[in-house]
Chains A and B, each alone.
Chain A
Amino acid sequence: RKEVEQDPGPFNVPEGATVAFNCTYSNSASQSFFWYRQDCRKEPKLLMSVYSSGNEDGRFTAQLNRASQYISLLIRDSKLSDSATYLCVVNPYPFSGGYNKLIFGAGTRLAVHP
């Protein structure tokens, strides 16, 4: 089983749609969770961290379910500019103060069309 698994997509949605991505992780001791966005031929950029209580940033909502070991990202009112690959990222190691190794999912591609 992969450490972090995502549906590769692509998700093709019209502008204004709501779209949700899920991601599962294998290590129950994982401590930190993130969603990154990667535009075509560009570097990944941090979109948002994911907190246990769930968090929202404008049109984006991230949820963490520790019991089921999955993370979700919800995008409301999709824009053309949301078209990108969304990477689910997990830190599988307990906080140790000296080491920080993130595991990246392969990404889910989103294409928003007019």
Chain B
Amino acid sequence: SQTIHQWPATLVQPVGSPLSLECTVEGTSNPNLYWYRQAAGRGLQLLFYSVGIGQISSEVPQNLSASRPQDRQFILSSKKLLLSDSGFYLCAWSADTGSWGYTFGSGTRLTVV
């Protein structure tokens, strides 16, 4: 069966520090991968999606970047965090066939102080 792992679960980082969040998927190949952010009490905002290795599409201009160095690995990064980067970051995967919904990782709660 397919599983998705995301870490760390919680993170407290000072303003201006770098960020690296990692997400890996097991039990499937060539998944579509996604990074979402959810601000406190708000809906899900799609940040990046990837349909293959090295293929990254950005949905909103921001202080963050994403990379997909391997088929089942998706990384979210920032060189310098802002206070506004605080939130709940969720990685998700889906099959590339389009009809089966997403499965989310357990999320990383980031607080920038």
Interface: A49 (CB within 8 A): yes
- B residues sitting closer than 8 Å to A (CB atoms) are 32, 42-44, 46, 49, 51, 88, 90, 94-107, 109
CB pair A102–B101 under 8 Å, yes or no, is: yes
Count residues of A near B (Cβ-Cβ below 8 Å): 27
A-B residue pairs, 8 tightest by C-beta: A106-B43, A43-B104, A100-B98, A104-B44, A100-B94, A34-B101, A95-B98, A43-B107
**Cβ contact within 8 Å between B96 and A89:** no
Complex CA distance for A105 and B42, rounded to whole angstroms = 10
Interface of B is mostly: loop
How long is the Cα–Cα vector from A42 to B95 in the complex, in angstroms?
22
Q: A98-B51, A100-B32 are in contact. Are A44 and B104 (CB under 8 A)?
A: yes
Within 8 A of B (CB), among A67-114: 87, 89, 91, 93, 95-102, 104-107
Residue of A nearest to B102 (CB): A102
A43 contact from B32, B90, B100, Cβ within 8 A: B90
Known: A91-B98, A95-B99. A44 touches B109 (CB 8 A): no
Complex CA distance for A32 and B24, rounded to whole angstroms: 25
Cβ–Cβ contact A44 & B98, under 8 A: no
